[in-house]
Amino acid sequence: MKLNTALLLLLAPPALSDRVDDYIDQLSLEEKIKYLGGNGMGNYPDDGEYVGTVLATDHAGIPALLYNDGPQGFRDDARPGTSTALPSGLNVAATWSTEAATLWGDVLGAEFFDKGSNVMLGPGMNVARVPRNGRNFEYMSGEDPSLGAGLVPSVIKASQSHKILANAKHFVNNNQETNRGEMSSQVDERTRFEMYYPPFQAAIDAGVGSFMCSYNKINHVYSCENPETLVDDLKGAMGFEGYVMSDWGATHSASLLQGLDQEMADADFMNFDNLKDAPVDAIDASVRRILKPFVDVGAFDLTDDEQAARSIYNNVTSDEHFEAARSISVESHVMLKNTDSVLPLGRDFFTGENTVAVIGSQGDDNCIGGGGSGRVDAAWKPTPLATLKATAEDAAYGADSDKIKYLDDDSSLEDQIELASNSDLCLFFLQTSSGEGSDRDNLNLNADGKVAEVASHCAKSVAVVSAPGAVLMPWADSVDSVLLNFMPGVASAFATVDILVGDEEPTGRLPITMPLIENQEGMTLEQFPGVDGNMNSTYTETWGFGYRYYHLHQEEPRFWFGAGLGYSSFEVTKISWGDSNVKVSIKNTGDVDSTAVPQLYLGAPSGCDLPLWALKGFDKLLVKAGESANVEFALDEKDVSKWDVDARDWAMCGGEWSARVGFSAQLVDDETIATKTI
């Protein structure tokens, strides 16, 4: 039989690019331009109130594009409790775990899909530059580009496997909220590529469909009309093939030729009047950038059943997602000290005769997430106080118990001391929060003032701290143990108690440095928040922020980046360079099984002008008591390179490179350092 190849070609499903071309062929100029700007917030007919919309083009078979916040769960202000208030992006950074990042992305993707949205406005991945940034909690890079780059791909792949697009934001150098709509981040190309772009590059390499440009200017040009960062860097050197949308209201002109593909939330500038005479090739290119990622992830190929089942009115949270929030919260609790092994207390401690003082409003009215567009309201959440009472009675949640007594932040010092003196354990619950639109005024918690004095009257004391970023904890020397859980999500009270009783080991590690004092890095007014009146924040520190600052200036923070304790101790017993990796053996030197988070830091030859030590890899693994495990950290050329501005590419920096593997960024006397000449 003779094959009819022409017929076979007709029957074969069209290749993806053909399909996008086919869409574009069917669109009039006006319809194409419709994709370059949004149709407003909260007004999509029929389908509810997504925060951004582009209407469907029915005759071409293109469904509506429905965008929603945000980075710690599906934000649904009108229906609180119908989506899961997950731990924040900074919590994901604190897990140092690609598995936790995958779980987080998986729950997010599933909930966005079931809520009928096809673009998730997250994850946020800016590298934290200033400790007071009000949005640091949203970002999953902490203060290190390699930490972000190591975790971002898991979130992008897991979320986009649910036939929605993820969105890499906020590109770029939106590292403060103070004056964010006007200020300019003055940052050179090398610093951008080496310190701020790597998590975004990792998102691109993982196939992220969309990017969001930010409110600020970069080198005096608004982010969303900045050809240097959008065209030369993002779409040029970094190879991004998806589309760039503006942050809501961050567009200042019809910036199609400057690299913006889509203005959100309304088409104030990117509209037919302004763009009808723009080059058709440029319009087609942007429409292709917008539509192709939806085709690639399968967002335009839903079955009728799938389509019918999705709706913003759905309650998409579930027991399973609550448990996911709980486990990510457990993994992002960072134990910062544990004098005399006060933790774990053991379940018996609570079920016996012991009395417990719960001090601090966070114990009974717990903040679980940051504010602003990234907030997710829970209809119900367990509180630490009620969870502890149930634990003390060995009963279900809601049980009461006289053994647990509570005082809020406003209670007097005398009352707190009296309760502390008459209790077998003090549990301090402390918090501060932050949100979009402003930076924190200081790094205090809401009720730091009395902790040190009250703790001196406690038989044992543990402070549980919830914070959206760095906090000073001036009382840290006065308590036996500190657990920091960032913006910990709906299930965090259960997670905290899981850890207190010893059902779980705290396995989080700091994704940001905890300083001893305000502005320990000594940033000038020109660096942050910018020169008064003229709004420039100059990045003169280049790579010298976060732990890299402390190394450079030989200063001690309160707690180092990467730090965090479990219930055992580890030692690096062997370290060596391979051709394209560093290999170590780590030994659990304690008598319990425990999770280790080994971290590879590379030290560059001195002529390179690179950080003294920079994180280049990490792992998280359970090691049995007394046993050793081998860990390999893969390296590529970029890891021993700097950004060459003239070549606009990475260039290896030759000389003697050093490798240390540790359990934080803190340098340890006599540790073994392996060197290699490259």
Ligand X SMILES: *[C@@H]1O[C@H](CO)[C@@H](O)[C@H](O)[C@H]1NC(C)=O
Which tokens belong to 139? 């970002």
**Residue/partner pairs of 190-194 with CB below 8 Å, 24 or more apart:** 190/542, 190/642, 190/643, 190/645, 191/539, 191/542, 191/543, 192/218, 192/229, 192/233, 193/233, 193/237, 193/643, 194/145, 194/543, 194/610, 194/642, 194/643
Q: Minimum Å distance from CB 83 to ligand X?
A: 9
User: Does residue number 81 form part of the binding site for ligand X (CB under 6 A)?
Assistant: yes
Question: Is residue 399 close enough to count as binding ligand X by CB under 6 A?
Answer: no
Q: How far is CA 584 from CA 572, 575, 618, 659, in A?
A: 7, 4, 12, 10
CA angle, 380 as apex, 499 and 311 as ends, to 5°? 115
Three-state DSSP at 649 gives strand
Residue in the block written with tokens 């406690």: 458
Quick one: 553 exposed, middle or buried, by C-beta within 10 A (0-12, 13-18, 19+)? exposed
Which residue of 342, 417, 531, 653 would you call a contact of ligand X, by CB under 6 A?
A: 531
Give min distance, CB of 269 to ligand X, in A: 21
What's the closest the beta carbon of residue 322 comes to ligand X, in angstroms?
7
Closest separation in Å from C-beta 356 to ligand X: 28
Helix, strand or coil, per DSSP, at residue 455: helix
Is the Cβ–Cβ distance between 449 and 482 less than 8 Å? no
Instruction: Out of 53, 68, 72, 82, point to the residue binding ligand X (CB under 6 A).
Output: 82
Nearer to ligand X, 446 or 540 (CB): 540
666 lies in the binding site for ligand X (CB under 6 A): no
* 519 near ligand X, rule: CB under 6 A: no
Considering only residues 214 through 273, tell me which ones interact with ligand X, judged by CB under 6 A.
220
From residue 134 to residue 173, the character string flagging contacts with ligand X as x (rule: CB under 6 A) and all else as - is ----------------------------------------
Distance in Å, CB of 220 to ligand X, minimum: 5
Q: Pinpoint the alpha helices (H) of 35-121.
A: 89-95, 98-114
Q: For helices 145-160 and 98-114, what crossing angle results, to 10°? A: 40
x/- mask, ligand X, residues 306-345, rule CB under 6 A, reads ---------x-xxx--------------------------
What does 254-292 look like in DSSP terms, one character per residue? --GGGT--BBSSB-SSSSHHHHTTS-HHHHHHHHHHHHH
d(CA 335, CA 115): 36
Nearest Cα to Cα of residue 268 among 77, 326, 260, 69: 260
The smaller minimum CB distance to ligand X, of residues 307 and 534, is found at 534
CA distances from 16 to 12, 22, 370 (A): 12, 10, 40
Minimum separation from the CB atom of position 128 to ligand X (A): 23
Find all residues with CB under 8 Å of 580, minimum gap 6, and list them.
Answer: 634, 635, 636
In 605-670, beta strands by DSSP E: 614-618, 621-623, 628-634, 641-644, 649-652, 656-662
Of residues 222 and 243, the one with the C-beta less far from ligand X: 222
Question: Does 83 contact ligand X by CB under 6 A?
Answer: no
- Minimum CB separation of residue 390 from ligand X in Å reads 17
Minimum distance from CB of 497 to ligand X (Å)?
19
Q: How far is the CB of 181 from ligand X (least distance, A)?
A: 14
Cβ-based nearer residue to ligand X, 185 or 317: 317
Q: Are 535 and 183 in contact (CB under 8 A)?
A: yes
Is residue 536 close enough to count as binding ligand X by CB under 6 A?
yes
Q: At what angle do helices 492-501 and 319-331 cross, to 10 degrees?
A: 50
Q: Which two tokens stand for residue 475?
A: 């009382």
Question: What are the residue ranges of helices labelled H in 357-514?
Answer: 384-392, 413-421, 451-455, 492-501
Element (H, E) at 523: none
DSSP 38: -
Choose among 438, 523, 446: nearest CA to 134. Answer: 438
Catalytic residues: 247
Q: Hey, which residues between 542 and 601 contact ligand X (CB under 6 A)?
A: none
Indicate the SS3 state at residue 430.
Answer: strand
Stretch that binds ligand X, among 529-537, 549-557, 632-640, 648-656 (CB under 6 A): 529-537
218 vs 454, which CB is nearer to ligand X? 218
From the CB of 110, what's the least distance to ligand X, in Å?
A: 14
Beta carbon of residue 379, minimum distance to ligand X (angstroms, whole number) = 4
- Angle of the 145-160 helix axis to the 198-205 helix axis, nearest 10: 30
Rounded to the nearest 10°, the torsion over CA 548, 550, 553, 556 is -160
The answer to whether the CB of 243 falls within 8 A of the CB of 230 is no
146 CB-near residues (< 8 Å, 6+ apart) = 198, 614, 615, 616, 617, 618
**Which CB atom, from 308 or from 380, has the smaller least distance to ligand X?**
380
Number of residues that bind ligand X (CB under 6 A): 12
- Per rule CB under 6 A, is residue 534 in the interface with ligand X? yes
Provide the minimum distance between the beta carbon of 89 and ligand X in the complex, in angstroms, as a whole number. 23
379 binds ligand X (CB under 6 A): yes
The site string for ligand X over 268-307 (x = CB under 6 A, - otherwise) reads ----------------------------------------
**Contact set for ligand X, span 179-198 (CB under 6 A):** 184
524 touches ligand X by CB under 6 A: no
User: In sequence order, which ranges of 140-216 are alpha helices (DSSP H)?
Assistant: 145-160, 189-191, 198-205
405 CB neighbour count, 10 Å cutoff:
15
SS3 (DSSP) at 253: coil
**Residues found near ligand X in the complex (CB under 6 A):** 81-82, 184, 220, 315, 317-319, 379, 531, 534, 536
